[in-house]
Amino acid sequence: MTIKTAQFCVDAGQAMDLRRWDTRVAPVYRSKSDYKTQLADHVKRLSAQQQVFYADHRYAVLLIFQAMDAAGKDGAIRHVMSGVNPQGCQVFSFKHPSAEELSHDFLWRTTRDLPERGRIGIFNRSYYEEVLIVRVHPALLHAEAVPHLSAEGEAFWAERYRSIFDLERHLHANGTRIVKFFLHISKEEQRKRFLARIDDPAKNWKFSEADMAERGYWDAYQEAYGACLSATSTRDCPWYVVPADDKPTARLIISQIILDLFEGLDLRYPDVGKAGTKTLRGIRKRLAAERGA
C-alpha cells in the first residue's frame, strides 16, 4: 500500500491549530498481517539504505521525536529502526537538564550529541523541550539564569525559535538532514493508555503522578506545540504531524517518511577509481593463488 506522507507535513510558515489535525486516520494497512509485512519491508529497505549511507559518508541524519506522554515515541523508534546496524545509529533521550547543562545555553547539551557523517542520530525529545515544557512551565527558566529574562513576552520565544531555526539551517548547509516528528495523540487515547499502564503490573513503571499532573496542562501544551511547529517547520527541516492514536499506522507513516528521506539523497558506494580497481585486481590475483598453498 502506498503511503502519501505529504499530507502530514507542516508547510513552512503554516499557522498551526492542532485541533484541526487528525489524531487518527484510516489505517494504512489492511490487517495485522499486512501491517507486519509492510513494516518488515520498510525495515529491510531502510537497512539496505543505511549501509550505503554509511559508506557514502557525505550526510548525517537527525530524527527528532516529540510528543505528549504515552503517544508511542519509544515503540516507534524501536520498531522502525529495528533493522539498522547499531554501529551506525545512536538514540539519545533528553530528560531534566543537569546542573552543568543549565550552566550553558539551551542548545549546548543536545549539540554535543549531533550525529557525524554516515550516522543516524535519534533524539527522543530534544532542544524543542525548551520551547515546549519550559513555555508551559516558565518558572523553569529561572534555573537557566537567562539574562534579561522576559518569559511573558512573545519576543523571548521568537528569539528561541530563531536560535533553533539558525542551528538547523547551519546543520543542513553542512550535510545534516533533519526530520522532525510530532506524534499527535488525542486526550482520550492518552487516558486509555494511562489506564492500561496502571492495570498492567509490567507497565506500572512507565507511569507516575507527574504524568497525570502534566495531563492537566493539555491545552497549554497543544498551544505551545502549535506555535513551535508553525515557527520551526521549514522546507529543508520539516515537521510531520503523525496521527498517533493507531500505533501501527503511526509506525508505517514514520518509516515511509524516513525511507523517502534516504531514497532522496542519491546515495552511492564510493568509487575507488581506476588505480584503486587495478590494485584490488592485483590483490585478488594474489589471494586466489594462495588456494591450496
Give residue-wise pLDDT tens across range 104-134: 999 999 999 999 999 999 999 999 999 999 9
Q: For the chain, which domains are there? A: 6-289 (3.40.50.300)
Residues 54, 118: contact at Cβ < 8 Å?
yes
Band of pLDDT at residue 150, cut at 50, 70 and 90: low
pLDDT at 179: 98
Confidence band for 55, pLDDT divided at 50, 70 and 90: very high
Give the pLDDT band (50/70/90) at residue 146: confident
Q: What value, to the nearest 5°, has the Cα angle with vertex 130 and ends 78 and 139?
A: 125
Mean pLDDT of 179-201: 97
Q: What is the DSSP string of 211-278?
A: HHHHHTTHHHHHHHHHHHHHHH--SSS-EEEEE-SSHHHHHHHHHHHHHHHHHTS---PPP-HHHHHH
Residue 258 has phi, psi (to 5 degrees) of: -65, -40
Residue 137 pLDDT greater than 60, yes or no: yes
Reference 129, options 41, 195, 64, 82; nearest CA is: 64
Pairing between strand 60-67 and 176-184? Answer: parallel
pLDDT average, residue stretch 144-158:
77
pLDDT average, residue stretch 86-104 = 92
pLDDT at 141: 86
